[in-house]
Amino acid sequence: MDRHILVRATAVAAAVAVAGSLAGSAVGARAATVDRVSLAIKSDAERARKGPDGKWHDAYLPAAFSISSGDKVVVTIRNYDAAPHTFTARKLHLNVVIKSGSATHPSVTTFAFRAPKTGTYTWQCLGNCDPWAMHHLGFMKGRITVTA
């Protein structure tokens, strides 16, 4: 092999390396996408949400939200209720305690996680709050939809 051919081969290798790093940075940019979710908790006394039983119940507002698979998800929860709650989703390895707050001074809790593969994940409150609400979707229980 003469010297000229060797130099050309090296240039090709360098071009491949640059293309590889560009692809790598594109993947990095996708992974850095952040989904921000803002939820409020209100109590039955604060008329969070009326159930089909005709009574007001504790609820997360909203109780359902969507995120994109692979994104970093930052969740902020403002609790206007005088009672504590939790945001618990076993399949997402989340069990976050939400401190009590008040109508004028809600507690603010922020946590983050990586959105998993596509699908539907259920969360619920395991605090000892409103027993009816803890077992009904849209109140102290809800769904997280992970899209592609």
To Cu ion, the closest distance from the beta carbon of 125 in angstroms equals 3
Q: 83: which 2 tokens?
A: 């009672």
- Binding to Cu ion in span 57-86, by CB under 5 A: 85
To Cu ion, the closest distance from the beta carbon of 130 in angstroms equals 7
To Cu ion, the closest distance from the beta carbon of 55 in angstroms equals 16
Greatest CA separation found in the chain?
Answer: 88
**Bond into 84 cis (ω within 30):** no
Contact status: 125 vs Cu ion (CB under 5 A)? yes
What are the residues whose beta carbons fall under 8 Å from the beta carbon of 80, sequence distance 6 or more? 40, 41, 42, 43, 46, 101, 102, 103, 106
Residue of 124, 127, 136, 144 interacting with Cu ion (CB under 5 A): 127
For 92, how many CA atoms within 13 A lie in the half-sphere containing its CB? Answer: 29
Q: 39: which 2 tokens?
A: 């939820």
Applying CB under 5 A, the site for Cu ion has a residue count of: 5
Contact status: 98 vs Cu ion (CB under 5 A)? no
Q: Are the C-beta atoms of residues 131 and 55 closer than 8 Å to each other?
A: no
To Cu ion, the closest distance from the beta carbon of 89 in angstroms equals 14
Contact status: 101 vs Cu ion (CB under 5 A)? no
Residue of 140, 141, 142, 146 interacting with Cu ion (CB under 5 A): 140
Contact status: 129 vs Cu ion (CB under 5 A)? yes
Binding site for Cu ion (CB under 5 A): 85, 125, 127, 129, 140
